[in-house]
């Protein structure tokens, strides 16, 4: 979370969260570039209080966060009792004597902290306190103090401490006094030598410093500052390479495939720009294919950016080291947080070893978990292993043990195929070969090896030079295989002869549901159609088997195709007694504009009495298809929700829909958005709906909600009818009077001789003369103006929550507060709130990425990118390419998730417990008490404003609820007009409030 804008409020919130969190072990709030977080003393204090309670966090980075003494004192107090934190980074803060003394006292009793970085602070003479602590501390192994101008007395104290301390193995001082530094180094060297050594390691020892390491986004800043690390295989004869990708054993073909697939993301993030410029290219595809994929490296290009991109796509990490003075190495780049960690030595251009080009040498490979703090709190020698990565062509010994296959089976296997088969151990289900890596002999051997391999479900053999002769052998393989579900022969040499042989085999194979044969010479339209139909058949058969076995109540069927859907629906209808478990059926991206398929589907629907929800999304359903299906749910005994979004329905279809509305009495929701219905069709639906709503009470059906496109010319009538049937028209009250006016004047007080302001108000044709009654500006003015003190208002609302109108009004305010991020802080700490916010944040990121991909597929210019809603509109009204459809279908799925999340949020806000918590935590406390409780940064006024000169946001729903509970109407005025009105009872008195620009309410009385 480094380099954000968390601030002290965010730091405080994180501290509160850590008090109850039981899973987080690694927290990086350090600022690597511009010091944006600035959690300050409030944040530091909150985190200190949390560490007194938290028992899981092991790593905490608070570098460059503007924390001074009071915040560090709180952290020091926490370290006295904390038993889990092993790494604490306070680099670049404002720590002076009080903070250092507090940390020193903590180190005297703390028994877990192994790494502490206090570099670039204001320690000065306070180093004496740390020296005293090191005399008794037995766990700290690394202490960073560079950039602190530590006085002589402090250095002497540290030196004296090291005479007795035998555990500190790294001490960074950044001193200019070489003699003193030499003494310190000797003592540190002695401690390092005292550590247990692995007897088998005979390689030379190298001093490694990360003091000048870049503050990278991977969160590895200063992990080993001043640490001594033993690297293996540093003998002079170790081979080096001019290409970084030759040192790290990544398959170049596979790397190219991954990067080509990730080009949209690379362009969006601006990755590889420097490398493209160095190569004199502007096209990502050309650079990846011909430079990164070439066998001859361009020595002038540093491929670190490409390596970083690969580390994000493939699980590995890399630290690049450069030669320092004597035997010192300095880390210059770090990236990646998963998989094996490769330590690489880079020799810069112009060095004596390689005067003309940059070269690389693999130092060692380190296996580690992503939890760096836990790893490096252990002895370093235990973590560094002597295992070199397997290299293709190494004939000394097999690179991996292969328990899946016998040695007899592998006797004729080439080294390359042996290496590629290595991951296929245990229950691994996927085997993907890079292009141009296997000979025909290898592929034939592979077929034989995989014949009885039951765990493999995905096999990819692209550009392997396979011919029609090979197609015949693989066809025989497919006839017998019952485990593969995904197979790719893209880019081979199959003609129509070989492809027909594979199609013949697929007639007998019923497990394969993905088969990529693109870029083969014989892959013509007839083959493509045959292949699609056979794969669709298999998918339908497999869906049927899965449903029979798992029996889920909610079923989602996506991209089935005609044969698959027809087979599935026929089988479900034939076994209807076995499919009574389906209550919610979703059919998406599967065409239903075929009469035979629709008839089969109708047969199933007519025999599915337990079905309550049906969604037919983007199924190409047209008027004729709906006319076939409509008798299945007009009427239907239990259907409550019918979702027909994204189809081809026009005005003619509304006759069928009107029949559904009239006859399916159980129906509660009908969604016809993203179709092609025009004005006349909407009129037909509205008439049928009106008849249902206004039917005699003894025959009334449940409340029905009909969702239509916002450009529907009857939208106002639809909304009004919706409110009428649900009673919301009574809850929401009358629409505000558009002719309401307020005019300010003055009258002379004959007693005092002073002029007093008067207001002439016109509302619903009635005129009132009112005066302004001042209310104290104590933050509770809104409640005072309503003549209901907070405590009385809260109690009254709690007592009347059973009233659906009161509950509805308050839930609207809760939801508005959530969306405007003015939620009460204590409710923000609840698991339900956090879960919703996390879902919103992740879904927002996913949607924006997908919107970018769709715009890219549409070739829209940078300044003319369409937003989500316009993309959806274009998708359902214009013919699109296959690529656009592919990306749009993903965007549609994300949009549906977004709508589902909105419904989840509304349900959370309507929950009685949520409303009660809102009343007790927000409405009940006085404004002064609320601000004091939340460190004077939060307000619970009846109005919210982000700027003092704006009218802001009324929390008008709670004001409406209070007025309704009092049996009164409510009108809120500004000096220029009616701002808010809640008129629900024409017989009741109206309360008039005057809202001023300074977020203050006064009362208007006659």
| Helices and strands of the chain, counted as H and E runs | 37, 31
Confidence of residue 707 (pLDDT cuts 50, 70, 90): confident
- Cα 143 to Cα 811: distance, rounded to the nearest angstrom: 53
**Confidence band of 920 (pLDDT split at 50, 70, 90):** very high
Domain of 678 in residue numbering reads as 548-713
Contact status, residue 168 vs residue 145, Cβ threshold 8 Å: no
Token pair listed for 900: 């589902």
- Give the span between the Cα atoms of 52 and 79, in whole angstroms: 8
More confident residue, 64 or 31: 64
Assess whether the previous peptide bond of 448 is cis (omega < 30° from 0). Answer: no
Q: Is the model's pLDDT at 416 over the cut of 90?
A: no
pLDDT score, position 217: 29
| pLDDT, average across residues 92-104 | 89
The pLDDT-based confidence of 942 (bands split at 50, 70, 90) is confident
Name the domain boundary from 139, 170, 194.
Answer: 194
pLDDT mean over 460-470 = 85
**pLDDT at residue 423, rounded to an integer:** 46
Beta bridge partners of 741: 762
Neighbours of 376 (CB within 10 A): 22
Continuous H helices in 749-881: 781-785, 790-799, 804-819, 825-828, 831-857, 868-877
pLDDT reported for residue 368: 35
pLDDT tier at 745, thresholds 50, 70, 90: confident
Q: Is residue 894 part of a domain?
A: no
Asked whether the beta carbons of 317 and 311 are under 8 A apart, the reply is: yes
Q: Is the pLDDT of residue 593 over 60?
A: yes
Domain membership flag for residue 446:
yes
Does the pLDDT of residue 11 top 90, yes or no? no
Distance (Å, whole) CA 776 – CA 789: 12
- Determine if residue 222 is left, alpha or beta; phi over 0 gives left, psi from -120 to 50 gives alpha, anything else beta: left
Q: What is the pLDDT of residue 73?
A: 93
Query: Which residues, at least 6 apart from 475, have a Cβ–Cβ distance to it below 8 Å?
Result: 501, 502, 504, 505
**Which strands make up the sheet holding 741-748, listed edge to edge?**
741-748, 755-763, 766-773, 1000-1005, 990-996, 969-973, 978-982
| pLDDT score of 377 | 24
| Residue 556 in domain | yes
pLDDT over 70 at 351, yes or no: no
Claim to verify: residue 156 and residue 62 sit in the same structural domain: yes
Residue 40 lies in a domain: yes
Statement to judge: residues 175 and 111 lie in one domain: yes
Model pLDDT, residue 197: 41
Whether 153 is covered by a domain: the verdict is yes
10 with 99, same domain: the answer is yes
Q: Which of 285-299, 452-466, 835-849, 853-867 has the highest mean pLDDT?
A: 835-849
Whether residue 577 is found in the same domain as residue 455: no
Question: Which whole number is the average pLDDT over 576-603?
Answer: 89
Tokens of 263: 């080009």
Most confident residue range from 154-163, 225-234, 536-545, 707-716: 536-545
| Residue 353: predicted pLDDT | 41
CA distances from 691 to 511, 640, 662, 720, 722 (A): 51, 18, 8, 14, 13
* Shared domain check, 104 and 75: yes
pLDDT at 502 over 90: yes
**Which of 559, 633, 625 minimizes the C-alpha distance to 594?**
625
- Choose the weakest-confidence range: 313-317, 542-546, 869-873: 313-317
Is the pLDDT confidence value at 247 over 90? no
Same domain, 44 and 152: yes
- pLDDT above 90 covers a percentage of the chain that reads 25
Is the pLDDT confidence value at 945 over 60?
Answer: no
Q: What pLDDT does 349 receive?
A: 55
Report pLDDT for 27: 85
pLDDT for position 447: 80
Q: Please tell me the total count of domains within the chain.
A: 4
Which CATH number is 449's domain given? 3.80.10.10
Same domain, residue pair 13 and 117: yes
CB atoms inside a 10 Å sphere around CB 139: 14
Tell me the three state secondary structure of residue 726. Answer: helix
Domain termination site, one of 536, 566, 586: 536
Based on the domain organization, do 572 and 487 belong to the same domain? Answer: no
pLDDT computed for residue 301 by the predictor: 67
Domain co-membership, 576 together with 499: no
pLDDT higher at 176 or 450:
450
What are the DSSP E strand ranges found in 578-709?
584-588, 613-617, 641-643, 669-671, 705-707
Q: How far is CA 850 from CA 264, 361, 643, in A?
A: 11, 40, 24
Query: Is 338 part of a structural domain of the chain?
Result: no
Per-residue pLDDT of 508-566, as tens digits, reads 999 999 999 988 999 999 999 999 999 999 999 999 999 988 999 999 998 888 899 99
pLDDT band at 442 (very low <50, low <70, confident <90, very high): confident
pLDDT tens readout for residues 606-644: 888 889 999 999 999 999 999 999 999 888 889 999 999
Residue 727: per-residue pLDDT: 60
- Please check the confidence at residue 415 and state whether its pLDDT lies above 70: no
473 and 573 housed in the same domain = no
Backbone angles phi, psi at 772, to 5 degrees: -90, 125
For residues 19 and 952, the model is more confident at: 19
Q: Which of the pair, 431 or 411, is modelled with greater confidence?
A: 431
Distance CA 1006, CA 1004 (A): 7
> Residue 500 above 90 pLDDT?
yes
Is residue 554 within 8 Å of residue 586, measured between CB atoms? yes
Spatial separation of the C-alpha atoms in residues 374 and 461, rounded to whole Å: 41
Task: Please give, one letter per residue, the 3-state secondary structure of 68-114.
Answer: CHHHHHHHHHHHCCCCCCCEEECCCCCCCHHHHHHHHHHHHHCCCCC
* CA–CA distance, 954 with 993 (Å, rounded to integer): 12
Token output for 24: 């987080």
For residue 486, tell me if it sits in a domain: yes
Neighbours of 912 (CB within 10 A): 12
Given a cut of 60, is residue 874 above it in pLDDT?
Answer: yes
> 685 and 654 in contact (C-beta within 8 Å)?
yes
The average pLDDT across 124-142 equals 87
**Residue 228 confidence (pLDDT) above 60:** no
Cα 487 to its chain centre, rounded Å, is 31
Does 664 lie in the same domain as 704?
yes
Confidence band for 300, pLDDT divided at 50, 70 and 90: low
Average pLDDT (98-103) is 92
Q: Is 479 part of a structural domain of the chain?
A: yes
- Position of tokens 């999340």? 901
Report the chain's mean pLDDT, rounded to a whole number. 78
Same domain, 529 and 617: no
Quick one: tokens of 533?
């139909």
Identify the domain boundary among 677, 696, 713. 713
* 55 Cβ contact list (under 8 Å, min separation 6): 22, 83, 84
pLDDT of 223 > 50? The answer is no
């Amino acid at each position: 979370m480094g380099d954000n804008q968390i601030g002290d409020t965010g730091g405080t919130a994180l501290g509160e969260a850590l008090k109850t969190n039981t899973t987080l072990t690694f927290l990086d709030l350090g600022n690597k570039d511009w010091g944006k977080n600035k959690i300050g003393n409030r944040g530091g204090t909150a985190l200190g209080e949390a560490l007194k309670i938290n028992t899981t966090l092991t790593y905490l980075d608070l570098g460059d966060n503007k924390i001074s003494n009071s915040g560090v004192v709180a952290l020091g107090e926490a370290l006295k009792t904390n038993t889990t934190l092993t790494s604490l980074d306070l680099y670049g803060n404002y720590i002076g004597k009080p903070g250092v003394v507090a940390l020193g006292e903590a180190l005297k009793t703390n028994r877990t902290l192994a790494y502490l970085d206090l570099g670039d602070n204001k320690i000065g003479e306070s180093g004496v306190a740390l020296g005293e602590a090191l005399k008794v501390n037995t766990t700290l192994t690394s202490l960073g103090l560079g950039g602190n101008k530590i006085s002589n007395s402090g250095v002497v104290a540290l030196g004296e401490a090291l005479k007795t301390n035998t555990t500190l193995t790294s001490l960074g001082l950044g001193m200019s006094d070489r003699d003193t530094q030499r003494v310190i180094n000797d003592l540190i060297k002695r401690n390092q030598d005292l550590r247990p050594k692995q007897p088998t390691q005979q390689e030379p020892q190298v001093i490694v410093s990360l003091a000048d390491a870049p503050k990278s986004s991977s969160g590895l800043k200063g992990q080993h500052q001043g640490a001594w690390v033993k690297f293996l295989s540093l003998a002079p004869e170790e081979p080096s390479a001019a290409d970084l990708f030759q040192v790290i054993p990544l398959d170049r073909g596979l790397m190219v495939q991954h990067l080509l697939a990730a080009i949209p993301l690379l362009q969006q993030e601006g990755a590889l720009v420097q490398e493209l410029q160095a190569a004199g290219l502007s096209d990502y595809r050309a650079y990846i294919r011909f430079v990164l994929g070439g066998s001859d490296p361009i020595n002038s290009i540093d491929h670190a950016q490409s390596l970083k991109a690969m580390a994000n796509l493939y699980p590995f990490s890399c630290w690049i080291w450069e030669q320092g003075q004597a035997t010192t190495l300095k880390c210059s780049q770090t990236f990646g947080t998963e998989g094996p960690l490769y330590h690489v030595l880079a020799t810069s251009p112009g060095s004596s070893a390689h005067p003309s080009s940059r070269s690389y040498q693999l130092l060692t490979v380190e296996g580690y978990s992503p939890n760096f703090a836990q790893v490096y709190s252990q002895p370093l020698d235990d973590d560094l292993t002597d295992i070199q990565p397997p290299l293709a062509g190494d004939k000394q010994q097999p690179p991996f043990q292969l328990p899946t296959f016998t040695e007899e089976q592998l006797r004729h296997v080439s080294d390359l195929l042996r290496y590629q088969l290595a991951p296929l151990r245990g229950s691994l289900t996927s085997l993907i070969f890079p292009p141009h890596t296997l000979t025909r002999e290898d592929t034939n051997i592979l077929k034989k090896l995989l014949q009885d391999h039951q765990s493999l479900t995905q096999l990819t053999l692209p550009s392997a030079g396979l011919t029609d002769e090979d197609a015949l052998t693989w066809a025989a393989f497919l006839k017998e295989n019952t485990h593969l579900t995904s197979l790719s022969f893209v880019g081979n040499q199959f003609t129509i002869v070989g492809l027909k042989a594979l199609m013949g085999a697929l007639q007998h194979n019923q497990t394969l549901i993905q088969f990529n044969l693109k870029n083969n010479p014989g892959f013509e339209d007839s083959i493509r159609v045959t292949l699609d139909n056979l794969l669709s058949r298999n998918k339908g058969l497999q869906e049927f088997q899965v449903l029979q076995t798992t029996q889920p109540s909610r079923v989602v069927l996506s991209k089935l195709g005609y044969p698959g859907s027809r087979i599935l629906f026929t089988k479900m209808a034939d076994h209807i007694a076995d499919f009574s478990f389906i209550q919610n059926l979703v059919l998406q991206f599967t065409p239903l504009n075929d009469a035979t398929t629709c008839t089969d589907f109708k047969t199933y629907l007519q025999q599915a009495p337990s079905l309550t929800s049906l969604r037919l999304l983007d199924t190409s359903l047209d008027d004729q298809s709906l006319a076939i299906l409509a008798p299945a749910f007009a009427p239907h005994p239990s259907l409550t929700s019918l979702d027909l979004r994204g189809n081809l329905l026009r005005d003619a279809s509304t006759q069928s829909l009107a029949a559904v509305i009239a006859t399916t009495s159980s129906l509660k929701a009908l969604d016809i958005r993203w179709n092609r219905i025009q004005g006349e069709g909407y009129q037909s639906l509205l008439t049928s709906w009106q008849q249902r709503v206004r039917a005699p009470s003894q025959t009334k059906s449940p409340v029905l909600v009909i969702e239509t496109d916002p450009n529907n010319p009857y939208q106002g009538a639809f909304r009004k009818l919706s409110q009428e049937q649900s009673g919301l028209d009574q809850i929401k009250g009358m629409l505000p009077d558009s002719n309401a006016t307020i005019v300010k004047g003055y009258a002379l007080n004959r007693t005092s001789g002073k002029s007093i302001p008067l207001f002439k108000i016109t509302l619903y044709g009635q005129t009132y003369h009112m005066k302004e009654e001042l209310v104290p500006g104590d933050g509770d003015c809104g409640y005072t103006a309503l003549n209901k003190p907070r405590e009385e208002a809260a109690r009254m609302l709690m007592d009347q929550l059973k009233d659906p109108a009161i509950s509805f009004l308050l839930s609207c305010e809760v939801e508005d507060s959530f969306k405007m991020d003015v939620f009460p802080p204590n409710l923000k700490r609840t698991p339900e709130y956090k879960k919703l916010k996390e879902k919103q944040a992740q879904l927002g990121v996913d949607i924006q990425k997908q919107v970018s991909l769709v715009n890219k597929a549409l070739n829209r210019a940078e300044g003319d990118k369409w937003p989500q809603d316009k993309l959806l509109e274009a998708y359902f009204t214009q013919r699109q390419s296959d690529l656009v459809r592919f990306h749009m279908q993903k965007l549609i799925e994300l949009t549906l998730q977004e709508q589902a999340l909105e419904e989840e949020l509304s349900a959370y806000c309507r929950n009685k417990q949520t409303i009660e918590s809102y009343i007790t935590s927000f409405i009940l406390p006085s404004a002064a008490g609320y601000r004091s409780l939340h460190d004077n940064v939060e307000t619970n006024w009846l109005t919210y404003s982000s700027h003092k000169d704006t009218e802001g946001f009324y929390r008008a729903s709670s004001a409406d609820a209070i007025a309704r509970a009092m049996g009164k109407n409510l009108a809120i005025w500004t000096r220029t007009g009616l701002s808010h009105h809640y008129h629900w009872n024409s017989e009741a008195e109206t309360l008039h409030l005057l809202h001023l620009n300074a977020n203050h309410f006064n009362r208007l009385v006659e």
